[in-house]
Amino acid sequence: MRESTRQAEARSRLIDERMAQSSREVDEQIKATNKQVAGITDSLGFFVEHTVAPACKTLFHDWDIPVHQVSPRRKVSRNGEDMELDLTIINDNTLMVVEAKFTFRKNDLDDFIAKLPRVTRFFHEYRGMRVLGAVTGMVVHPDIARLAYKKGLFVLVPSFATVAIANSGRFKPKEWPQS
C-alpha cells in the first residue's frame, strides 16, 4: 500500500512539474507575442508619422501658420519623467504638436490633451511659443474627430495620397497654456 501511495505521489509531482513548465513556456510565448505586436504597432505609428510629416510643410498655409520645420519623434527626460512628441511643426512663434496613431482612439485623445499643457515644461526651447495641437491616424473614427475638433485640436485625416485638415473654416484652434 505504501509503495502505491509513493508511486501516486511521484506521479502527481511529475504532473505538477510538467504543468508548471508548460505554464512557463506559455508565459514566454505570450511575452514574445506581445513584443511582436508592440513592434508592429510602433512600425504603423512610424508609418503614419512619416506619411503626415511631408504634407505638414504646406498643410497649414490656409490657416496662416507658416511652417519652418517639421520634426518627427522628439524625446526628452526631465526630473525622472519622460515625454515624447510624435511630430512637431515649428515656426518663429508657434509649436504645433501632432499626435499620430495608426488607429486614433478616445484614450489616445485623452492622453494627448493631458500632455499638451506640459509640453514646454519638458521642451524648454519652446517656452514663450504658442502651443497648438493636432491628431492624426490612418483611422480616425468620426466621433473621435468631432471630439478632438471640439477640444480645439486640428484633425488630420488621410486624403488621397496625403493628408488634409478635416476642420471647417470656422474652426478656432485652442492655444494650450503651459504650466
- Does position 4 have pLDDT exceeding 90, yes or no? no
pLDDT of residue 174: 94
102 found inside a domain: yes
pLDDT of residue 36: 63
DSSP 170: T
14 found inside a domain: no
Number of domains the chain is built from: 1
54 found inside a domain: yes
Average pLDDT in the 78-95 region? 93
Other beta carbons within 10 angstroms of residue 94's beta carbon come to: 19
Which CATH number fits the domain that encloses residue 108? 3.40.1350.10
pLDDT tens-digit series, residues 32-60: 666 665 555 555 555 566 677 777 888 88
pLDDT of residue 49: 63
- Does position 88 have pLDDT exceeding 90, yes or no? yes
174 found inside a domain: no
Comparing CA positions, the residue from 127, 140, 84, 20 lying closest to residue 153 is 140
78 found inside a domain: yes
Average pLDDT over the chain reads: 84
pLDDT of residue 9: 79
13 found inside a domain: no
33 found inside a domain: no
72 found inside a domain: yes
- Does position 61 have pLDDT exceeding 80, yes or no? yes
d(Cα 126, Cα 77) in Å, to the nearest integer? Answer: 15
Helices (H) and strands (E) counted in the chain, each on its own, are 4, 6
Note the Cα 19 to chain centre separation in Å: 38
> What backbone torsions phi and psi does residue 20 show, to the nearest 5 degrees?
-65, -40
Domain that residue 63 falls in: 49-165
Predicted TM-score (pTM) of the model is 0.68
d(Cα 27, Cα 30) in Å, to the nearest integer? Answer: 5
pLDDT tens-digit series, residues 119-173: 999 999 999 999 999 998 888 899 999 999 999 999 998 776 667 788 988 999 9
pLDDT of residue 41: 54
How do beta strands 162-165 and 154-159 pair?
Answer: antiparallel
